[in-house]
Amino acid sequence: MATGDPTTPDVMTPDAGTAPSARERLLDAAVDHAARHGVSDLSLRQLATALGTSHRMLIYHFGSKEGLLTEIVRRVESRQRAQVAALAGDDPTSPTSLAELWDHFADESLWPWERLFFEVYAQALQGRPHARGLLDEAIDAWIDPLAEVLVARGTPPAHARDDARLMLAVTRGLLLDLLATRDRNGVDAAMRRFVALTDRRRADRD
Amino acid sequence: MATGDPTTPDVMTPDAGTAPSARERLLDAAVDHAARHGVSDLSLRQLATALGTSHRMLIYHFGSKEGLLTEIVRRVESRQRAQVAALAGDDPTSPTSLAELWDHFADESLWPWERLFFEVYAQALQGRPHARGLLDEAIDAWIDPLAEVLVARGTPPAHARDDARLMLAVTRGLLLDLLATRDRNGVDAAMRRFVALTDRRRADRD
DNA sequence: TGGTACATGTACCAAGTGGTACGTGCAGTC
DNA sequence: GACTGCACGTACCACTTGGTACATGTACCA
């Protein structure tokens, strides 16, 4: 009460070494909520009541709405990275097939996350500051692991990074399609065409 | 003054036959503003002052904020369709090359529109009602014209629609990449790889 | 000249916003 | 057992939001 400002805890310290529990639980729940309802018309109060707390607590833990959004984006990012790691390091002896990869991403259980990803991505493209972080990793972080997968499948290393970039674009583009049309069959057919293209080339050894 | 409600002009009539000028000018300016600043944190007041009018006028002409947003989206849609028409009908004797197509879309002058497109697309994926319209046309409207272009280039008709869907995904995916990284060279390289893939197959006549 | 329909601005409203001030319970520690 | 700092809630603030009421200007038509 006498101390200058007992509430807002410096904005820097709480996430450093201490406070593993409460804030973390809140963040998890917030990310979950964001995946279900989107993030662009999110209000602290609605979110707080949905999470069973008060908007004061969100400010307390995350400093501001921007801070909370930034943290949500960071978590989405880390989920993305975890997926990269999973697909790259997951048994390098048997190279993952592109079809497997696609099956993974196209699974309906991931749709809310992918919707959220594209939403934040779009906000980042419009310069919204809290989303900036996503942009830096959105491409680069994927190219190397994808290139590894491609090389393991026979792509000549000289073209691996370009092909990986293309592969990433195909995946995201078809994901946009899938989320809009929900036409899994149609999108699968398009992906099969892409796989056929690359396989044909692989047979030609170029 | 005695008449029931002289202001809000029924919400249905103003855009039908009458009022070609003022509302149209406002809408154009609003779309322009949206392309520059995005649409997700747009407020009627800010927009109105930016356009040199009062937020009352926006309500008057478009009924509500939702109405205005819907109209903006419609206009973006129509721009999209115009581009489809342009690339499809523009001299069918000399089939457009995929590289030309890509050069067109990757041009920096279109970036604001593409940012806006992805922003609205993402909002549509999250179920925002004003954006719904975009979703219906976002895929279907492109496949047929693109398939035509592909067939003209030698793609077997049996696969044309799947390939067109793939082509659309590649374009959008690489556009997402380009808007984020601004790395025109890198993205161009990836697109060249795709073109090479399709060309190789064309030589094989499959 | 008067009236009528459209166009536009000003003032206002209730609701919701992010953020703050402040009080309070509950650990742990001396 | 008093003190201390964290975690949390309540009440509040100034402000912005979308939308409305109403007055007024302007142009056309009789």
Q: Near strand D (CB < 7 A), which residues?
A: A 3, 6-7, 9, 14, 18-19, 22-23, 53-54, 56-57, 60-61; B 1, 5-8, 42-46, 55-56, 59, 64-66
B181 with A139: Cβ contact below 8 A: yes
> Cα–Cα distance between B30 and A29 in angstroms, integer?
37
Contacts of B51 (CB under 8 A, 6+ apart): B26, B29, B30, B33
Measure CB to CB from residue B122 to each of A118, A127, A174 and give the nearest one.
A118
For A106-124, how does the pLDDT look when each residue is reduced to its tens digit (9 = 90+)?
A: 999 999 999 999 999 999 9
Q: Which residues of chain B have a CB within 8 Å of the CB of A177? A: 139, 165, 168-169
Cβ(B126)–Cβ(A118) under 8 Å? Answer: no
> Cα–Cα distance between B134 and B76 in angstroms, integer?
9
pTM of the complete model: 0.88
Name residue B51's amino acid. Answer: L
pLDDT at A184 over 50: yes
Residue B94 three-state SS? coil
The CA dihedral of A70, A72, A77, A81, to the nearest 10 degrees, is: 140
Q: Which residues of chain A have a CB within 8 Å of the CB of B185? A: none
pLDDT at A170 over 90: yes
For residue B80 the two structure tokens come to: 């999209």
- Other CB atoms within 10 Å distance of the CB of residue B132: 13
For A123-147, how does the pLDDT look when each residue is reduced to its tens digit (9 = 90+)?
A: 999 999 999 999 988 999 999 988 9
For A24-56, how does the pLDDT look when each residue is reduced to its tens digit (9 = 90+)?
A: 889 999 999 999 999 998 999 999 999 999 999
For A60-94, how does the pLDDT look when each residue is reduced to its tens digit (9 = 90+)?
A: 999 999 999 999 999 999 988 888 777 766 555 55
Burial of B151 (0-12, 13-18, 19+ CB in 10 A): middle
Give the distance, in angstroms, between residue A36 CA and nucleotide D16 C1'.
27
- Other CB atoms within 10 Å distance of the CB of residue A162: 23
Locate the chain A residue with the closest alpha carbon to B166.
A190
Sign (positive or negative) of CA dihedral A146, A152, A158, A163: negative
Structural domains of chain A ordered from first start: 74-204 (1.10.357.10)
Phi and psi at residue B13, to the nearest 5°: -70, -40
Rg (CA), chain B: 20
> Cα–Cα distance between B9 and B87 in angstroms, integer?
39
Cβ(B190)–Cβ(A162) under 8 Å? Answer: yes
B165 with A187: Cβ contact below 8 A: yes
Instruction: Pick out the nucleotide with least CA–C1' distance to A19.
Output: D6
pLDDT at B4 over 60: no
Cβ(A165)–Cβ(B186) under 8 Å? Answer: yes
pLDDT at B80 over 90: no
Q: How confident is the model at residue B8 (pLDDT cuts 50, 70, 90)?
A: very low
